[in-house]
Amino acid sequence: MFRVDQFIAACSAIIAFGTTASALTPEIRRNEDVPPVMVSVPTEGREIVQIIDLQPFTHIAYIPMDSDLSSLKVEGIKMVKAATKVRSVTKPSDCDDPGGEPGAPPNCTRTNYASRVPAVRVTYSYRAPSDESGSAWSTFDVYFREDEIAPRLRRAMSTGKISRSAAAELFAIRTVRGSVQQLVLDDTNSILCEGYYVDGSWVHTNPRCEDNVTYRKIASPSPYITVKVDFAPSSLETVVATK
C-alpha cells in the first residue's frame, strides 16, 4: 500500500525542484537569467535593510510557451534610467502594530528602486493566449547599457529620429524552447513499505521494513520561451543616426 504522505513528499520534491530550475513565477519573466543577490543589513532602531541586485542588463525575457513568435515586434526604443537595485526597509515594530483595517496584512516594509543608471530600453509586443478573449497582446522590456549602443544611435534616440521599423532592424531576436530538470520518484530503486494508519500514524505491516525513497532527474518542457535580444547594428544605423 502506497502511503499518502509518501505521494505528497514525492510531489513536493517535483514542484520544489521544478520551481528552482525554471523559476517562473510571473506571466512574463524579465531579466532573470542571472539570479539576484540579496544583502541584509541591520541598522540602528532595529530596522532591517535588504538590498537586492536586479541584474537588468541580461537582454533576456521570458514569455509563455504557447505565445505566437511570429507576432514579436518592436514597439519602442527609449533612453531611460534603469534601476539596478531594490532597497527594502522593514521596521519590526510596525509589523507588531499593523493598524489599519482588521485582518489587513501589516504594512511595515518600505521598498524603492535605487542605483539608477543610463540605459536604452527596447519594448517588444507579442500575441499570447488569453482565457477571456482567445488572444491578447502583451509586452516585455529589455535593457542595454549606454556603452552597448553606438553614440550616433543614442543621439538619434534623444531627438526622436528613430522609427519603429528602423529600430526593429537594429536588434536581433533569438528564441529558445528549453527544458527544465525535475525530480520524480524512482520506483525501481525505492523501497516503500506496506502498512496502515493507526490513530493517524503510519505503521508498517512488517516492523523490520524500512522506507528508502530515491528520486531521479528527468527533463520536461519549460513553460516559457527564452527570448534573447542582441544589438545588431546594420547600414540602417548610419542612415537613421544622420537624419
pLDDT the model gives residue 37: 54
pLDDT the model gives residue 93: 72
- Kindly tell me the burial class for residue 207, based on how many C-beta atoms sit within 10 Å of its own C-beta (0-12, 13-18, 19 or more): exposed
**How does pLDDT run across 178-228, given as a tens digit for each residue?**
888 889 999 899 999 999 999 989 999 999 999 999 999 999 888 999 999
Name which of 55, 65, 53 is nearest 31 in CA terms: 55
pLDDT at residue 60 is higher than 90: yes
Q: Which of 9-13, 116-120, 123-127, 143-147 has the lowest mean pLDDT?
A: 9-13
Q: Where are the domains of the chain?
A: 58-81+119-178+222-241
- pTM over 0.75? The answer is no
**How does pLDDT run across 4-20, given as a tens digit for each residue?**
444 444 444 433 334 33
Residue 192 CA neighbour count, 13 Å, CB half = 19
Name which of 155, 135, 173, 178 is nearest 18 in CA terms: 178
pLDDT at residue 21 is higher than 90: no
* 224 grid coordinates: 516559457
pLDDT band at 96 (very low <50, low <70, confident <90, very high): low
pLDDT the model gives residue 204: 92
Pick 108 or 66 by higher pLDDT: 66
Cell 493517524 belongs to residue = 200
Average pLDDT over residues 26-46: 49
> Residues near 177 by Cβ (< 8 Å), separated by ≥ 6?
65, 221, 222, 225
